[in-house]
Structure 1
Amino acid sequence: MTRKLVGAVVGIVLAMLVVALVQTVGHYLFPEPELPANPSPQQLRDAVAAAPVGAKAMVVLSWFLGALVGVWAALRISNGARRSALVVAGAVLLLTIAVLLSVTHPTWMVALGLLVPVLATFLATRIVPFAEA
C-alpha cells in the first residue's frame, strides 16, 4: 500500500516537473511577447493564437513526456501497480483538460492534448508492465 501511494505521488510530482521543464525549454526556443501582470482573457486568447506552431508543439510534447515519465516512475516505484499508474495518468489528463479549458486552443492541440497522456500511459506500461493481479 505504501509503495502504491508513494509511486502515485512521486509520479505526479515528476510529471509536473517534466511538463514545466519542457515548457521552459519551449519558452526559451520560442520567446513570447510580454503580457501585462493580469492579462485579460482576450489578451490570453490573442497570445495563444499568435504563438508559433513550434511553441504550441512544445506544450503538447510536454504533456506527452510528463505523462510518460510520471507513469513510468509510478510503475517502477509501486512494482507495477495499475492503480498508481492510472492515478498519475488521470492527474495529467485532468490538468491538461484544465489548461485546454482555460484559454481557447487550436483544435489540433485539443485533440492531441486528450490523446497524448493516454498514449504515453500505454507506452509506459509497455516499458514497465502492470503487476500480475
Structure 2
Amino acid sequence: MWRTMYECHQVQHFVSQQLNILSDIKMDLSTNYHRQAAIQLETEVSCWYNWFCEVVKSQQEYVRTLSRWIQLTDSLVDDHRKSLYSSSVRRMCEQWNLAFERLQHKEAAEAIKSLQLAICSIRVQQVEEHN
C-alpha cells in the first residue's frame, strides 16, 4: 500500500512540475484548442449533471418500490411464520428512505449546474475575444 501511495505521489509531483513550467510560459487562452477544450468540458459537465439527477431519481424510486414490495409481502405471511429478516429489511429501507429525504442532492445538482453556467460564460468570453 505504501509503495503504491509513493508511486502515485511521484507521478503527481512530476505532473505538478510540468504544470509549473507551463505556467511560466505566456499563453493565448483564446486559441482554438482552448475553445474546443471549454466546449468539451461544458459537454462533460452537462452529462455529469444529467446522469447525477438520473441516478438520484432512480435510487429514490428503487428504494420506494422495494419498501412497498416489502410491505406487501409482509402482509401475506402468517404471524407465526414472520421472519426477523423481513422486519430488519423493512427498517433498513425506511432508514434508506429517510436518508434520501435528507440528502442534499438538489444543492449538489445546483452546484453542478452553476459550474456548467460558469463554463458557458467562459466560452462566450472566448468567442468574444476571438472575434
TM-score computed with the length of structure 1 as normaliser: 0.30
Higher relative contact order (CA closer than 8 Å, sequence separation 6+):
2
Asked which structure has the greater CA Rg, the reply is: 2
TM-score computed with the length of structure 2 as normaliser: 0.31
